[in-house]
Structure 1
Amino acid sequence: MIARDEAALIEPIERTPILARTLDWAAINSGTANLPGVAAMAGRLAEAFAALLGEVSLVDPAPVEKVGADGRVRAVETGRHLVLRVRPDAERRVLLTGHMDTVYPADHPFQTTDWLDADTLHGPGTADMKGGLSLMLEGLLAYERGAPTLGYDVMINSDEETGSLSSSALIAGLAQGKLAALTYEPALPGGMMARARPGSGNFAAAVTGRSAHAGRNPQDGRNALVAAADLAQRLHRARRDGLSVNPARIEGGAPNNSVPDLAVLHFNIRPRGPEDLAEAQALIAAAIDAVAAEHEVAIHLHGGFARPPKPVSPATESLFALVSRAAADLGEPMAWKDTGGVCDGNNIAACGVPVIDTMGACGGAIHSPEEFLLASSLDARARLTALVLHRLDRHGVAV
């Protein structure tokens, strides 16, 4: 089912350059908070993607704030984001996205790559997603050899692993008016594509009570730690199918002889759909009001739902059909399924753009010291990228 022009497009794609870049980029620690490492990675990416002869720029991050253990809100520094624009005046345009940051900080022991077997590369960020960035580039280079007419933007952000807070507005702006979007998160186990995703919200509830001596006059105190624990329990009890609630950490407290007047509860909520999102927002507000009244404390909530739920639209069904047909024509049939993870595909879908967000490499054990990449997926997924773009160019979002 591969046409002659399609075969000519993908035939030159080889694994060697994709793998070489992956190894080079995986050697750079680009944990989100490692700003020198992220800057080095951004520079390396800018040099590589300049081969596409578009306009490459590094965009300053939007301001981001975070609540510390002392309950105070502070600015958080993040790296710049890479944007490439090719044929910006084209009538039809697509968006390709990925991220340069990893979950491994500069002092993490997992810093080097090694081969577990002839096809399995063990290393930080190999699957998530430096291999994905490398194969995306190779697929674009191949697409450019086939008389392309589609315009496209490439956005590679520096803070996806922490929720894309400094890049969400950039993503939304670039998504506007796009025909379709491809995001290079690693494939699910077995090479499957992600279908629907829940939303995700990260919150910090800073609880302010009143200190007092634990022995002389504890009744005069208002225990912020107990109030935070009560809030965590109320949120935890509200979880159900379609609404995941995870109280993750309480910071604060005081010496054993003092009633603690400060505690910060950090929690994550993942609503499956828009109705679940509305329920989650009401749940948080009700729980905070009840705990504040019962414990006579003040509670300041920081955070929000940075990842909207990602249901599957008819347009996304059509895009998946196109990608699935292309994969089958390449001898790599695939399926897709719902997943509990979130990514920038959530944000793109919320803009009304059909998106496939697991176009990256195959591998596994991401976010752990056992992370690995299947090298054979690099050239296979690069061919898929080139063919999908070619067919989007010729036919639009249709099988």
Structure 2
Amino acid sequence: MPQTERLLEQVVNINSGTLNVAGVREVGAVFRKEFDALGFKTEWVAMPASMQRAGHLVAQRKGKKGKKLFLIGHLDTVFELDMPFTKYTRLNDSTATGQGVNDMKGGDVVILAALQALQANGLLKDANITAYFTGDEERGGKGPEARADFIAKAKEAQVALAFENAIDRHTVATARRGSSNWQLKTFGTAAHSSTIFKPTVGYGAIYEAARILNSFRETLSQEQYLTFNPGLIVGGSEVNYDEGKAHAEVTGKTNIIAPTAAVAGDLRFLTEAQKEGARAKMRAIVAQSLPGTRAEITFSDGIPGMAPTPGNQKLAALADQASRDLGLGPVVAGDPGSRGAGDVSYVAQYLDCLDGLGAPGKGAHAPGETINLKEFPLLIERTALMLYRLTR
């Protein structure tokens, strides 16, 4: 464990926000060295420069025993270079904090530590394992090539195990929600603030954006497994929003009615039918403009949903048995609504999948993200035992 924790500290202390291409590649280089030492054949799958994404690390070991495994991690975090940086810090004997410490650098280290345990006992021989660490899980690159190689290599396997953070050691994910994005733009008439609401002027772009967002909340917020979050909103006399950099600039005055506003958000869902139903309702709301305004909304697909299947449940049963045999207690499938989207969903239609096998902790995607260092080695042991049984 001391060696494992040092590896975790090393990668956490490298900023690898998705848009920090150099940082993502640096983390990938650290993990590549570890896979090389285990006898895996490694490669870096580069993305087109226009995509502005670092690429992916792939490590493979060919064999003829047991199931062909596809192990999923990711190198990037949500913490970009312009955000406050938090290094790996032990808070006490059982807790440490740092960027990506559980989502999901901790999960990547679970994979490596389990493989190192098997290698130390001579148990990797003849195993067929592909480990695939993507570089843009948190903000996926645009275009099919972003996941083309990922999907192709997954199709060669029989079982996918994904190591997004564990909610706790008794819960795994047999289903995950998908995610997509939406952009709302509203328009009004620029005029003196004293004329707002008058028939010749109308309500302005900001009131129209507020109406739409509140109607989304009133109409859709109670639907199971469906969430939609407006993560960025700007409005004023002039608005410039750079989607690629997730950055906006705005100017305006309190005595000028805003002629434009922009909102960027995400939409999370369990099935394609739920996604399309939500989009239809959102479009209908957008079309009901306030006087003197107009609005438009566009949608872009992201990660598909991962529906629960009998094959996924069999993998949960394997995790349950391994946990019980180690004296760690039972494992059950968690609520799909408790998780967002993940890379495993891209391949869920092709093979049996299980997620939530990574590092235990709290506060993912927020300052103060933590890892539970007491349960961390227990989940590494469980992973090692599962990998052993699947590759026999």
Relative to the length of structure 1, the TM-score reads: 0.81
Secondary structure (helix, strand or coil) at the match of 1:322 reads helix
Match of 1:389 in 2: 387
Deviations 1:5-57 (A, max 9, x none): xxxxxxxxxx2221121111122122222233222212212222222323312
Partner of 2:139: 162
Q: CA deviation at 1:349?
A: 5.2
SS in 1 for 2:130: strand
CA distance in 2, matches of 1:187, 1:91: 26
CA-CA distance at 1:181 after TM superposition: 0.8
Q: In the alignment, is the contact (CA less than 8 A) between 1:61 and 1:79 conserved in 2?
A: yes
1:36 to 1, 5, 22: 22
Q: Give the aligned partner of residue 48 of structure 1.
A: 34
1:342-353 pair list within 5 angstroms? 342-348=340-346, 350-353=348-351
Q: Structure 1 residue 135: deviation in Å? A: 2.2
State the number of aligned residues: 367
Q: Deviations over 1:86-122 (max 9, x none)?
A: 2189895221111112222335444222322223223
The DSSP-based 3-state class of the residue aligned with 2:323 is helix
Query: 1:142 corresponds to which residue?
Result: 117
Q: 1:82 aligns with which of 47, 57, 80?
A: 57
Q: State the match for 1:278 in structure 2.
A: 276
Give the letter aligned to residue 106 of structure 1. L
Give 1:318's aligned amino acid.
K
Is 1:241 matched up with 2:217? no
Alpha-carbon separation, structure 2, partners of 1:227 and 1:115: 47
Residue 286 (structure 2) aligns with: 288
Q: Distance in 2 between matches of 1:44 and 1:58?
A: 12
The 8 Å contact of residues 232 and 265 in structure 1, kept in 2 or not, is answered as: no
Distance 1:126 1:80, change over 3 A: same
Q: Calculate the TM-score normalised by the size of structure 2.
A: 0.82
2:330 is aligned to: 334
The residue that corresponds to 1:313 in the other structure is 309
Q: Please give the alpha-carbon distance, in whole angstroms, between the structure 1 residues aligned to 2:291 and 2:278.
A: 21
For 1:169 and 1:294, how far apart are their aligned partners in 2? Answer: 46
Equivalent position SS for 2:320: helix
Distance 1:308 1:340, change over 3 A: farther
Q: For 1:255-266, what aligned pairs fall within 5 Å after superposition?
A: 255=252, 256-266=254-264
Partner of 1:226: 207
For residues 257 and 169 of structure 1, do their structure 2 counterparts lie closer, same or farther at Cα, with a shift above 3 Å needed? farther
Structure 1 residues 31 and 17: alpha-carbon distance in aligned structure 2, compared to 1, 3 A threshold: same
In structure 2, C-alpha distance between the alignment counterparts of 1:43 and 1:111, rounded to whole Å:
21
Other-structure match for 1:175? 154
Structure 2 counterpart of 1:21, which letter?
Answer: L
Hey, what's the Cα distance between the residues in 2 that align with 1:282 and 1:188?
Answer: 33
Q: Which runs of no fewer than 5 residues in structure 2 stay unpaired? A: 238-251
Residue type of the alignment partner of 2:164: E
SS in 1 for 2:366: coil
**Contact (CA 8 Å) 1:223, 1:259: kept in 2 or not?**
yes
Any conservation in 2 of the 1:210–1:261 contact (CA below 8 Å)?
yes
Name the SS for the 2:391 alignment partner: helix
Q: Which amino acid aligns with 2:166?
A: A
Letter aligned with residue 317 of structure 2 = A
Correspondence 1:57 to 2:43 = yes
8 A contact 2:283–2:297 mirrored in 1: no
Aligned residue in 1 for 2:244:
none
SS in 2 for 1:96: strand
Cα deviation 1:41-83 (Å, max 9, x = unaligned): 12212222222323312222368xxxxxxxxxxx762222111
Residue 128 of structure 2 is aligned to residue 151 of structure 1: yes
Does the residue aligned with 2:288 lie in a helix, a strand or coil? helix
Are the counterparts in 2 of residues 207 and 263 from structure 1 also a CA contact under 8 Å? yes
How far apart, CA to CA, are the structure 2 residues paired with 1:391 and 1:90? 10
The Cα of 1:137 is off from its aligned counterpart by 1.0
Distance in 1 of aligned mates of 2:348 and 2:279: 18
1:225 and 1:170 map into 2 onto residues whose CA distance is 43
| 1:345–1:356 CA contact under 8 A, matched in 2 | no
**Secondary structure, in 3 states, of the residue corresponding to 2:351?**
coil
Q: CA deviation at 1:216?
A: 8.0
